[in-house]
């Protein structure tokens, strides 16, 4: 079974731009969660989607948004990028029978200049 895939793996943007990151979960997994990892704040939960609905949201500003498609693929969008948005963005998926055992993708490394 293929793992969680994320595209692109690396991205460089400038302040004020917007960015869209993509995540394809493991086949059969319907829940997709997004996390941000930075050296200062560690791994922080952004949001979770299940059956195309946002089920949970972390403490991030409204510039961070996401969506999930009918095939469970998910995208997250960050608008008006700030320098502090530079981070590793991780996507994780889980299956209904084991919802808390989340499997992570390799992440997208976003650098904001």
Interface residues toward other proteins, by CB under 8 A: 4, 31, 33, 35, 42-45, 48, 50, 55-56, 58, 90, 92, 94, 99-107
Dist. CA 110–CA 87, nearest whole Å: 5
Q: Does residue 101 sit in helix, strand or coil?
A: coil
Choice between 42 and 62, CB closer to other proteins: 42
Give 5: exposed, middle or buried? Use CB within 10 Å, 0-12, 13-18, 19+: middle
Of 15 and 57, nearer to other proteins (C-beta) is: 57
Report how far residue 35's alpha carbon sits from residue 29's, in angstroms, rounded to the nearest whole number.
17
Considering the complex, state which of residue 17 and residue 86 has its C-beta at the smaller distance from other proteins.
Answer: 86
Closest contact distance (angstroms) between CB of 26 and other proteins is 12
- Minimum distance, C-beta of residue 90 to other proteins, in the bound complex (Å): 5
Handedness of CA 95, 5, 104, 54 (dihedral sign): negative
- In angstroms, what is the minimal distance from the CB of 22 to other proteins? 15
């Amino acid at each position: 079974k293929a793992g969680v895939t994320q595209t692109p793996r690396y991205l460089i943007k400038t302040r004020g731009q917007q960015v869209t990151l993509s995540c394809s979960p493991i086949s059969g997994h319907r829940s997709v969660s997004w996390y941000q990892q930075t050296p200062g704040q560690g791994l922080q939960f952004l949001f979770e989607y299940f059956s195309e609905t946002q089920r949970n949201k972390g403490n991030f500003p409204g510039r961070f948004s996401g969506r999930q498609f009918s095939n469970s693929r998910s995208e997250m969008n960050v608008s008006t990028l700030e320098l502090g948005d530079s981070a590793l963005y991780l996507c994780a998926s889980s299956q209904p029978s084991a919802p808390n055992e989340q499997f992570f993708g390799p992440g997208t490394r976003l650098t904001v200049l």
